Amino acid sequence: MHTLIQDARYALRQLMRAPGFAITVIVTLALGIGANSAIFTIFDQVMLRKLPVEKPKELVRFEWTGAYSGSASSFGGDTGNYFSWPMYKDLRDRNTVFAGILAADRSSVGISWHDQAENKDAELVSGNYFDVLGLKASLGRLMMPADDTAKDANPVAVLSYDYWKTRFTAAPDVAGKTLLINGHPFTILGVAPEGFHSAIGGYTPGVFLPVSMSDIAMPWTAPRNDLTNHQSIWLTLVARLKPGITPQQAETALGPLWYALRAQELTGYKEVSARYKDKFLNHTHLSVKDDSTGFNPERQDLSMPLLVLMCMVGVLAAMCAVNVATLLLLRAAGRVREISMRYALGAARSRIVSQLLVEGAVLGAIGAIAGVALSPVIAHSLVRIISNVSDQDQTPYTTAVDLRILGFTLLLSVVVTLIFSVAPALQFIRPRLAEALRQSSGTASKRSQLFRKIAVGFQIALTVLLLGGAGLFLRTLENLRRQGLGFQTAHVLSWQVDPTLAGYTDDRTAQVEMNVLDEVRSIPGVLQAAGTTDPEIAGNQNGSNFTVQGHVAPEEEDMNFEVPNITTEYFRTLRQPLLAGREFTAADVKSAPRVAVVSLAFAMRFYGSPQNALARLIAEGGGNNVKLDTTIVGVVGDVKHQNLREAPRGTIYRPYLQQTLPGGMELYALTNQSSGAVESMIRQRIHRLDPKLVVYQMRTLEEQMDISLANERALAFLAVSFSLLALLMTAVGLYGVLAYATAQRTREIGVRMALGAQRSAVVMLVLREMALTAVIGVAVALPAAFGISRLLTSQLYGVVPGDPLTLGMCVAVTAVMVVLAAAIPARRAASVDPMLALRSE
Amino acid sequence: MIELTNVERSYRTGPTETWVLRQVNLTIRPGEFVTVTGPSGAGKSSLLNVLAMLDDQWKGDFLFEGEAVQGMTRKQRADLARRRIGMVFQSYHLLDDLTVAENIDLPLSYKDIPRKERQALVADTLDRFNIVGKKDLYPSQLSGGQQQLVGIARAVIHRPSLLLADEPTGNLHSEQAKEIMDLFCKLNQEGATIVQVTHSKENAQFGSRILELRDGWVYSDTSAKRTAGVQS
């Protein structure tokens, strides 16, 4: 122990004697370890961390496959993740393998407390939600099955812990008090436990409301009759396995019940062919999947980017280890005589090796501490980029360093330290004592010189790999940003006004929204203003099945189309081209004949041209008895609606004022000047209309596009950052190796110059030293980059894996780095004074 | 061939200026074999560096085959030296990673000579110095005498008009030293002008003229009648 302390003390003394070397190594380690810890912090929360509930390993969720017809409302993921309320109740009440099954859905509601209204995320949950999860209230009590009985009969709410702390200032007497949800009084039952956010991963609702209150929480869903409708799927289900039951056993046991429930559901379908019936009943399956981490639709979107980033920082950690090993080997070359002397004085091999390992451990420990300190800073930036919010409280992700992160960092540090400590230790395992002690200056063995060249070549190869990935992500981001959306984003402001927050009832919402639009249209500088129930590039998908006059759709044909309800001036506001017919007018109200404007894709699919589509009839719903009640009056260009990657799909625009309880809208204003100048005017005018109306989520469409690109931007930004870091580390390593090699070759350079070598020849001599290594490194990296980039295909857009231009740029950047890193040693070599170099004569 | 007039060289260390060459006046004619002797620190190597044009910090006049070296740029001096001067070192200074043939080829590689011509010249030189059998060996596989033989072969391969040798036998035993000195005499008889620096009185006798330096001054010159340096 005393020896270890002595070695550690000696190591610290050595570091203090060479502060430049120590700082370089510690900064390298801190960046490498810090980046890994930061990415792991987010990776852990999105991919690995269990829900903070009782025995999370017992939780499972359901996914189904099979034919289906009806309306689906989702907050992400496949339709197979969602179920109808009647199906939920049947599964809950008729299974034998689960201790309980809960249902949940996400929604945004207006919450008014002490006359202050705000829009907030809510989770609609079944009455047994907290029981199934095994949670206890922080305050008051949680929801129970008795709180979720009949439609609109249970106006109660449970606050989330964070919302209670911030909005209700942790008031201890909040239970039993009343708040307004969308203008309706709800009694607060209590507060959810601290640390628990939701059964839905990555979701942070402010309140939990009973599913039975869904018509109030989501008034626009009222026409669907969600609580009785078998063909409206909208709930995600989570179950707790009975003790001793495995997910596989549960899945097997559920098979007959699922078949029976499907058969029962089919009876609700009108006019079903034998083929469809067979498909509906015999080609369906209900899977039971692990849900210990919570169902998180964003996980699908984030998992690949996070996996890519974890791999990238893993590569960075490997480069760190090799880089530090190279630097330590260079330093060790100057210690040959010291170590040889120790051997000559009787030191055992184990003693020397242990001393070198302790020196490595000291460096590793300091680097790890610095890395852990740096980690939250990097993680904070990452969270801001992927969440698109500046306020940390609004994200479901924490950047705090907990025991899991510390454990990961410790493990990584040990591995990295072992790698970089072993290299110098190996060099001194079999010293050539006589030779080393005879020489007046330290020299390096050919083996260690070879190791250094291989290490630098390895780093160059990894740098090309990282640059290749970063280049592809950058080009993807650029391609997504540059592509045509089908509408113009410049000078367009978007915002929301929820009249229910101001106490208006659902039947008055549409009128208030129209009043707001009229007010905005009168603002100087506003050229056009319009609204939609289905905002652009916001990730929304609002589809419905349609029947098209004259088109007999086979049962497997997808007749589901996007159905935004829009106001007049919509296409002019977004400058979406009208290809045929007309826009909606103020006359297109409920009492007028029902009309629609369809997208080009729709028109071409069914009618062959925009002109042919005009005056044709369509209807919402399917079956032979559907009444074709809607006339196509216009055709507009296709748009990228849900996100920037999605191909345009058939869209049927309908007049907002022809819908029953159409709900709130996203409003748009086209301005003739910078949107910022008009923003305050809009707020003022709406305030003047009714001071209780709250404007929220006001942003330009360009900002909305940025939000839509959050994942791509985060990936590109981080990939570029890590690549530049890798490039810098490689440059440092390359410089170190070349500087050392040049110093070792001073005599040789002197001889060459004395024999007539010109400075340019000496520069070439030094550059050639690394050129071959760099060429081999690049030659190894390019096929690897090509192969690995194929795994990234799902993350790319408008660029092929192994894109020659991107890889060419990576090689060019690497070449510039090699030349820059070699420039100083080369210049130093060219300045060697042969007279001085040969003075040993 | 060489004419030095009032050549002086000093090094400044802080406020102190240390003189290593003082008012050196020296004329060397083509075909002479000059031995420069003197105790350590006398300025022998400094004089050789001036003659080799490795040093450019001296003062005075230096005419090399009628050309004024002091007026030349560093590049011009290097170019002249590359064409006209060959160097032999005490420690041979062969490059460890190059074979005998590659070491000999080194000065040619810094000139614009076609590869084939270079190969022919190297082959001739190997033959001339009787080391054809060792052409593929590395310096570490040769004895000291053999290494110096290669060093001399390398110095003369491009047929310089002046051969400078700094303690060429300093690391060799007497028998090897004699062989090297015989070789120098042979080269001198073939027309090479040679300036060697040596401590050895025995080897000094191989020269046709002996120049002795002391504290930077030319102390004596066996070609006394032509001596330009005078001790003060």
Are residues B87 and A755, on separate chains, in Cβ contact within 8 Å?
yes
Are residues B93 and A751, on separate chains, in Cβ contact within 8 Å?
yes
A87-110 residue pLDDT tens = 999 999 999 999 999 999 988 888
More reliable by pLDDT, A350 or A653: A653
**pTM for this prediction:** 0.73
Q: What is the pLDDT of residue B122?
A: 94
A486-539 residue pLDDT tens = 999 889 999 988 787 677 777 788 889 999 999 999 998 899 999 998 899 887
Is A756's Cβ below 8 Å from some Cβ in B?
A: yes
Burial label for A747, CB within 10 Å (0-12, 13-18, 19+), is middle
Are residues B166 and A841, on separate chains, in Cβ contact within 8 Å?
yes
Nearest CB to A756 within list B81, B90, B167: B81
Alpha-carbon distance A832 to nearest alpha carbon in chain B (angstroms): 11
Q: What is the pLDDT of residue A447?
A: 65
Q: Report domain extents, chain B.
A: 2-226
Residue of A563, A574, A433 lying closest to A490 (CA atoms): A574
CA B3 to chain centroid? 16
Cα A421 to Cα A409: distance, rounded to the nearest angstrom: 18
How many A/B residue pairs have CB atoms within 8 Å? 45
Cα A763 to Cα A66: distance, rounded to the nearest angstrom: 70
Q: Which residues of B touch A753 (CB under 8 A)?
A: 78
How would you classify the pairing of strands B162-166 and B85-88? parallel
Is the pLDDT reported for residue A216 higher than 70?
yes
Alpha-carbon distance B93 to nearest alpha carbon in chain A (angstroms): 7
Compute φ and ψ for A141, nearest 5 degrees: -135, 165
Residue of A520, A493, A503, A517 lying closest to A684 (CA atoms): A520
Are residues A756 and B154, on separate chains, in Cβ contact within 8 Å?
no
Cα A695 to Cα A684: distance, rounded to the nearest angstrom: 10
- Residue A705 parent element (H or E): helix A701-708
Instruction: Give the mean pLDDT of A207-220.
Output: 90
Q: What is the pLDDT of residue A730?
A: 87
Which residue matches tokens 């032979």?
Answer: A624
Report the percentage of chain A scoring pLDDT > 90.
Answer: 38
Cα A829 to Cα A818: distance, rounded to the nearest angstrom: 16
Is B167's Cβ below 8 Å from some Cβ in A?
A: yes
Q: Report domain extents, chain A.
A: 1-49+297-429, 56-292, 444-471+711-841, 499-693
A162-200 residue pLDDT tens = 999 999 999 999 999 999 998 889 999 999 999 899 988
Q: What is the pLDDT of residue B68?
A: 93
Q: What is the pLDDT of residue B226?
A: 45
Nearest CB to B54 within list A747, A754, A840: A754
Residue of A216, A226, A113 lying closest to A505 (CA atoms): A216
Would you list the DSSP string of A519-577? HHHTSTTEEEEEEESS-TTSS---EEEEEETT----TTS--EEE--EE-TTHHHHTT--
Q: What is the pLDDT of residue A613?
A: 95
Helix axes A19-43, A710-744, angle to 10 degrees: 160
Average pLDDT per 10 consecutive residues for chain B, totaling 232 residues? 92 84 93 92 89 88 92 86 88 85 88 87 91 91 89 89 89 82 89 90 88 92 55 35
Q: What is the pLDDT of residue A392?
A: 53
Interface test with A, best of B58, B110, B167, B171 (most A CBs within 10 A): B110
Q: What is the pLDDT of residue A393?
A: 57
A320-355 residue pLDDT tens = 888 888 888 877 777 776 777 677 677 777 778 888
Is B81's Cβ below 8 Å from some Cβ in A?
A: yes
Helix (H, G, I), strand (E, B) or coil at A296: coil
Helix (H, G, I), strand (E, B) or coil at A371: helix
Are residues A835 and B166, on separate chains, in Cβ contact within 8 Å?
no
Nearest CB to B107 within list A747, A748, A756: A756
Is A748's Cβ below 8 Å from some Cβ in B?
A: yes
Residue of A575, A571, A614 lying closest to A596 (CA atoms): A614
Alpha-carbon distance B225 to nearest alpha carbon in chain A (angstroms): 32
Chain B, 18 to 47: residues with Cβ < 8 Å from chain A are 45
Alpha-carbon distance B95 to nearest alpha carbon in chain A (angstroms): 6
Residue of B117, B128, B167 lying closest to B150 (CA atoms): B128
Query: Using an 8 Å Cβ cutoff, are A356 and A425 in contact?
Result: yes
Q: Which residues of B touch A754 (CB under 8 A)?
A: 52, 54, 87, 89, 93
Query: Going by C-beta distance under 8 Å and a sequence separation of 6 or more, which residues neighbour residue A227?
Result: A85, A151, A211, A212, A214
Are residues A747 and B93, on separate chains, in Cβ contact within 8 Å?
yes
**Distances A354 to A26, A324, A425, A702 between C-alpha atoms, Å:** 21, 18, 8, 59
Nearest CB to A755 within list B90, B110, B167: B110
Q: Which residues of A touch B154 (CB under 8 A)?
A: 755
Query: Using an 8 Å Cβ cutoff, are A184 and A242 in contact?
Result: no
Chain A: residue nearest B97 by CA? A748
**Distances A617 to A153, A412, A568, A582, A633 between C-alpha atoms, Å:** 41, 65, 21, 16, 10
Are residues B54 and A835, on separate chains, in Cβ contact within 8 Å?
yes
Is B110's Cβ below 8 Å from some Cβ in A?
A: yes
Q: What is the pLDDT of residue B230?
A: 39
Query: Going by C-beta distance under 8 Å and a sequence separation of 6 or more, which residues neighbour residue A461?
Result: A777, A778, A780, A781, A784
Are residues B110 and A756, on separate chains, in Cβ contact within 8 Å?
yes
Would you list the DSSP string of B29-85? -TT-EEEEE-STTSSHHHHHHHHTT-----EEEEEETTEEGGGS-HHHHHHHHHHHE
CATH numeric code, B2-226:
3.40.50.300
Chain B: residue nearest A759 by CA? B75
Cα A713 to Cα B226: distance, rounded to the nearest angstrom: 85
Is B90's Cβ below 8 Å from some Cβ in A?
A: yes
Compute φ and ψ for B48, nearest 5 degrees: -65, -40
Which residues does residue A238 pair with via DSSP β-bridges, in sequence order? Answer: A61, A102
Amino acid at A456: V
Instruction: Give the mean pLDDT of A72-83.
Output: 78
Is the pLDDT reported for residue A433 higher than 60?
no
Is A20's Cβ below 8 Å from some Cβ in B?
A: no
Instruction: Return the structure tokens found at A761.
Output: 């020849």
Instruction: Give the mean pLDDT of A222-226.
Output: 81
Which residue matches tokens 């260690």?
Answer: A448
Mean of pLDDT over chain A: 86
Using the Cα atoms of residue A651, residue A656, residue A662 and residue A666 in order, give the sign of their dihedral: positive
A396-420 residue pLDDT tens = 677 788 888 899 999 999 999 988 8
Q: What is the pLDDT of residue B75?
A: 82
User: Residues of A585-624 as b/e, b for ≥16 C-beta within 10 angstroms?
Assistant: eeebeeeeebbbbbbbbbbbebbeebeebbebbbbbebee
Nearest CB to A835 within list B49, B110, B111: B49
Nearest CB to B110 within list A747, A757, A841: A757
Residue of A448, A438, A527, A537 lying closest to A485 (CA atoms): A537
Is A556's Cβ below 8 Å from some Cβ in B?
A: no
Query: Using an 8 Å Cβ cutoff, are B53 and B78 in contact?
Result: yes
Q: What is the pLDDT of residue A592?
A: 94
Is the pLDDT reported for residue A841 higher than 90?
no
Q: Which residues of B touch A449 (CB under 8 A)?
A: none
Alpha-carbon distance B113 to nearest alpha carbon in chain A (angstroms): 13
Is A760's Cβ below 8 Å from some Cβ in B?
A: no
Is B148's Cβ below 8 Å from some Cβ in A?
A: no
Q: What is the pLDDT of residue A435?
A: 54
Would you list the DSSP string of B187-206? HHHTT-EEEEE-S-HHHHTT
Chain A, 777 to 836: residues with Cβ < 8 Å from chain B are 833-835
Q: Which residues of B touch A835 (CB under 8 A)?
A: 49, 54-55
Is the pLDDT reported for residue A636 higher than 90?
yes
Chain A: residue nearest B80 by CA? A756
Instruction: Give the mean pLDDT of A443-467.
Output: 79
What ipTM is given for this predicted complex? Answer: 0.76
**Distances A50 to A4, A57, A202, A692, A786 between C-alpha atoms, Å:** 40, 8, 12, 41, 36
Are residues B55 and A835, on separate chains, in Cβ contact within 8 Å?
yes
Chain B: residue nearest A834 by CA? B54
Q: Which residues of A touch B52 (CB under 8 A)?
A: 754
Is A757's Cβ below 8 Å from some Cβ in B?
A: yes
